[in-house]
Structure 1
Amino acid sequence: MGERMAGKAVIVTGAGSTGQGWGNGKAAAVLYAREGGKVLAVDRRIAAAEETAAIIAGEGGTAVAFEADVTDPLEVLAMVKRCVDVFDRLDVLHNNVGIAETGGPVEATLDSWDRVIRINQTSVFLTCKHALPVMEEQRAGAIVNVASIAAIRSLGFPYAAYSASKAAVIAMTRNMAIEYAPKGIRANCVLPGLMNTPMIRAPLTASYGGDVDEMIARRDAQCPTGKMGDAWDTAYASLFLASDEARYITGHELVVDGGITQKCV
């Protein structure tokens, strides 16, 4: 166990993986706990949150599973209250919830657009809305929002709603960073590139002919490193931004992409 998050209470939304393996939220929750953080592992699927909490407990860490739909204002309020009730404070809010649905402006349905914006963007608004007053009272806190390189680059894939939602998260984070800097609160984004996580399986496989191995091979080939990153790459970047090591960093977008955005001009 490390000490980079010692004594800090951390909310991780989307803390359960959508399938077998390590998703970004699951890895982040476990890593925060390994570094001494006390984690409220939040997911709309309580079994997934409990699985993550069990991993943390099995490693000697502290975690509480909590079921919440972060697009529901009342459930978000209850989530923040639960963290304060259990851990007496809230030091880090890690927003990881997100979905990817394909389609450009013509192909995407309005229902798909609304769903992606609500889950990826509105959820961040709601969690910050209820977490910030707690942090403001403490005169300290850090927010880490997981965005995407899709917000700043096109990789030739039709992602209208996803790109728009992640770009909005970046803009919102910058705005919060300036507003709350005098109050001791930092806000930053992590922008993962092409990552090999359970999330990519369902929404993307069909676009690659329904073959998972083909999808992975083609995405690996797009990366300058010859291989996609994984959830731990996102988690370690998040840990840095959440920790006191990044105490003078706010309003920043940390790109974690193996260099792929340097190829896209």
Structure 2
Amino acid sequence: MRQRILLTGWFSFRDGEATAGDVLALRRVEDVLRHDGLAYDVAWSPAFRPGDLDLDHVRPRAYSHLVFVCGPLHGKQITALHRRFRHCVRIAVGVSVIDADDPAVTGFHQVLARDAPGAEPVEDLAARAPAMPATPVVGVVLTRGQGEHGAHRRHGQVADELTRWLVGKDCARLELDTRLDTHDWHLSATPDQLQSVFARLDLVVTDRLHGLVLGLRAGAPVLAVDPVAGGAKVTAQAHACGWPAVIPAEHLDEAHLERWWRWCRSAPAHAAALRVRADFTAGTAPDNADELLTALST
């Protein structure tokens, strides 16, 4: 049989999981195999990569070698691989060995461990994975509340539509909450802490007024959706700030989202966001605090 390698890992099991570290380790192994001209396939969990090659549909006899990449060597799923691919040369690479006598470990012909009892540890495979282009970091600020809008509320539908669409975007999504809490570590305790996060974003997607304002205050383009039928405070605030990228709840669809996504990723959008930030800093437009002084003096 001609040599062909099946790459597996915890990312291959239907009830396993794919972590960023595991997938980067896989990329490092793929890079080495491609450089050496070796033929291989990758088995993915159908829960993670539906439609790709998965273990349930692999023909074991098509492979001469099975390589298990990254993660701890233990458990019935790995011992099952030894039985199913018993004809293959089986190698584990970049793995952790907890118990050297575990059948999940002893079933391999070779174990190239990153750490094992009594052995000197080596760098994890993810450390030298090929560099990939950076993706935009997108802050996502959504609400399902605001019951004061009554029958005009579209908050649930808007959040569902936005999150379904965002799953398909190649970006680093960061869920944010504008609520402050001095006890819950998930939340910022001060506005300055939260603003520091916004300052590191490339783009903001939000259906909240303060998601819009904090994004623009940081100079980040904002794709805003007004979750109230007929328009409410999000639309009004975007108008007050001179910001165009607002979609009414009634017009929320993929075409509008894609149009404003492309614009928000453009140089003109970044320039526009920086102009709004400069206007905020300069205080060129009066706000209610300025009016308050007049009201107090009457």
User: Bigger relative contact order, structure 1 or 2, given CA contacts below 8 A and separation 6+?
Assistant: 1
Taking structure 2 as the reference length, what is the TM-score of the superposition? Answer: 0.29
Taking structure 1 as the reference length, what is the TM-score of the superposition? Answer: 0.32
Structure whose alpha-carbon radius of gyration is higher = 2
